[in-house]
Structure 1
Amino acid sequence: MNTPTPGASSAHAAALTAEYAAIWAYGPIGVRLTGPTQEAARDAEATHRRRRDDLVLHLTDAGDSLPADQAGYALPFPVTDEASALRLAVDVEERTAGFWQAAVAATSGAERERALAALVDCAVRATRWRRTAGITPLTTPFPGRTA
């Protein structure tokens, strides 16, 4: 059994908030995409929903309070076409990766492994979205790092 490290609960709560926002953002993203890219957006949303559900269970089992989901989230720019939807998908995955990077730093053992898996998944998905959108470079040196 792992003893939670200081800050693990707040890092998980912050990651949960990021997952809420990611799920919400994939709505405006998905409506601007078609075919295989729309299916990729559905898959991404489903992954974020699973992660959200896992975090809710984890925080609840630990006796921690859950951050509230919002009715809506502000998008960083208007999503009006396929190109802006793809840019938003990259942005969503990069932002969510940042919260998971913080969770990696604040956790240990199995919790760290779970956070690292989420960070890697977000980084890989961001790379796929960049490739689809024709954005270069395709990867970032340190996924999740904002500076």
Structure 2
Amino acid sequence: MTALQGALGAEHAAVYGYGVVGARLPEDQQRTDARTAYAAHEARRDAWQRLIGSLGATPAAAAAGYQLPFAVTDAAGATKLAAHLETRLTAVYADLVAAVPGPQRGTAADALRDSALRAHRWGAADPAFPGIPEPLPTPSATTP
């Protein structure tokens, strides 16, 4: 249950964070992407709340506010925050996949994949996943 509550808490923070992200992006594709991510995190948050409730526990409530990891004053900072949020969620969901029983593991793996893809779209470095080899470096031409 602790891992599920942790995922719920991370989604609460992501919903808050994407409010900040959207406020600092211009009306373009990035803001559309931020709105889509915001809605996805709201849906994921609501799903975790329902699951936790169905298991007989009380879902953790969102905090009134969250401390951002750095100041977000412009579009570049907003993009960096979005990448940070998704990278953090990728780590949370990797832990959740390992912690939950089979019936919930697929949902956790879907959340892991979704966060990793969004992190990549926002410019974060791709995470290393256990069991998946790192890509080999691209050979470069050398001149004699």
For the superposition of Structure 1 and Structure 2, which TM-score range results when normalised by the shorter chain? Answer: 0.7 to 0.9
Structure 1 counterpart of 2:19: 27
Given the alignment, which residue of 115, 125, 128 partners 2:121?
128
Structure 1 counterpart of 2:141: none
TM-score by length of 2: 0.85
1:108 matched to 2:95: no
Structure 2 counterpart of 1:56: 49
**How far does the alpha carbon of each residue in 1:90-129 deviate from its partner, in whole angstroms, 9 at most, with x for none?**
0000111111111101113230000000001000000000
| Unaligned segments of structure 1, at least 5 residues | 1-8
The range that moved more, 96-105 or 120-129, is: 96-105
CA RMSD of aligned residues (A): 1.3
Q: How does 1:2-21 map to 2 (within 5 A)?
A: 9-21=1-13
Structure with larger Rg: 2
1:139 matched to 2:122: no
Distance 2:126 2:91 in 1: 14
Letter in 2 for 1:20: H
Structure 2 counterpart of 1:5: none
- Which secondary structure state, in structure 2, belongs to the residue aligned with residue 113 of structure 1? helix
Distance 1:74 1:88 in 2: 12
1:82 matched to 2:69: no
Letter in 1 for 2:45: R
Distance 1:29 1:105 in 2: 30
- Which secondary structure state, in structure 1, belongs to the residue aligned with residue 8 of structure 2? helix
- The Cα of 1:13 is off from its aligned counterpart by 0.5
| Unaligned segments of structure 2, at least 5 residues | 131-144
**How far does the alpha carbon of each residue in 1:26-58 deviate from its partner, in whole angstroms, 9 at most, with x for none?**
011001112110000000000000001101110
TM-score by length of 1: 0.84
Q: Between the two proteins, what is the percent identity of the paired residues?
A: 41
Distance 2:88 2:39 in 1: 17
